[in-house]
Amino acid sequence: QKEVEQNSGPLSVPEGAIASLNCTYSDRGSQSFFWYRQYSGKSPELIMFIYSNGDKEDGRFTAQLNKASQYVSLLIRDSQPSDSATYLCAVNTILYGNKLVFGAGTILRVKS
Amino acid sequence: EPEVTQTPSHQVTQMGQEVILRCVPISNHLYFYWYRQILGQKVEFLVSFYNNEISEKSEIFDDQFSVERPDGSNFTLKIRSTKLEDSAMYFCASSVGQGGNEQFFGPGTRLTVL
């Protein structure tokens, strides 16, 4: 059973559009949720985290969490070609201790 | 802005050899981690370290692996006898606190086992 699932994509959006990335997780005890961006050949870069149900906004990014549906999403407004990367969803639960469990990532392509 | 650093950026070794990957976590962080990513696959947790001891490890982290904080700044991952399947990117990460605290990743070491 997969613990953190993401659509692998690629998700293609035109420049200036909203990109919507989704993630589901299997463990209801999950408490902390993170979005990382990973450019090809580079390390994961933390862009957002969310702990509570609802929305959290930071600049062009909005993270949304629905614990009842075990669903977390990332919206990127005014998408830019430089946003083209793989977006990784990562989850931490008490069950897993300190470790992050990562999804396989969604490839985002922003076309200019 | 403080960041996690790792050396070397690329390590090539022969199967059966020992390798040591080095990391300098962010200075005020107390929790340290190693993850790996085989090409085209997910980022996988290896081990977490706090207060000079392992706090958690995965099934991947078998007896061939060890971690150490030899001084106040470095955090190392040793693979005693490398196998072909150890070829991967190895990422060090650190966080201020445990659990849900944000983990910041270093640039990684690409390990190639021939």
Q: Which residue has the tokens 């463990």?
A: A27
Mean pLDDT, chain A, rounded, equals: 94
Which of A46, A97, A101 lies closest to B104 in CB terms?
A: A46
**pLDDT score for B72:** 81
Structure tokens of B97? 């606190």
Tell me how many helices (H) and strands (E) chain A has: 0, 11
Q: Which residue has the tokens 């969310």?
A: A50
Residue with the larger pLDDT of the pair A95 and A21: A21
Give contacts of A46 with chain B, Cβ < 8 Å. 102-105
Q: Judge if the upstream peptide bond of residue A14 is cis by omega within 30 degrees of 0.
A: no
Residues 71-110 of B with CB under 8 A from A: 89, 91, 95, 98-108
Nearest CA in chain B to A33: B100
Q: What is the CA radius of gyration of chain B?
A: 13
Where helices occur in chain B by DSSP H, the ranges are none
DSSP 8-state assignment for residue A18: P
Q: Specify the DSSP element, H or E, that contains B56.
A: strand B53-57
The residue-averaged pLDDT of A15-41 equals 95
Nearest CA in chain B to A94: B99
pLDDT higher than threshold 70 for residue A1 = no
What does pLDDT average to in each consecutive run of 10 residues of chain B (114 residues)?
A: 95 98 95 96 96 93 96 94 98 87 96 98
CB within 8 Å: B42 and A103: yes
End-to-end CA separation in angstroms for chain B:
37
**pLDDT score for A94:** 65
| Chain Cα centroid distance, residue B28 | 18
**Residues of chain A above pLDDT 90, percent:** 87
CB within 8 Å: B102 and A34: yes
Q: Mutate which of A91, A93, A100 to test chain B, going by most B C-beta atoms within 10 A?
A: A100
Nearest Cα of chain B lies from the Cα of A90 at a distance, in angstroms, of 9
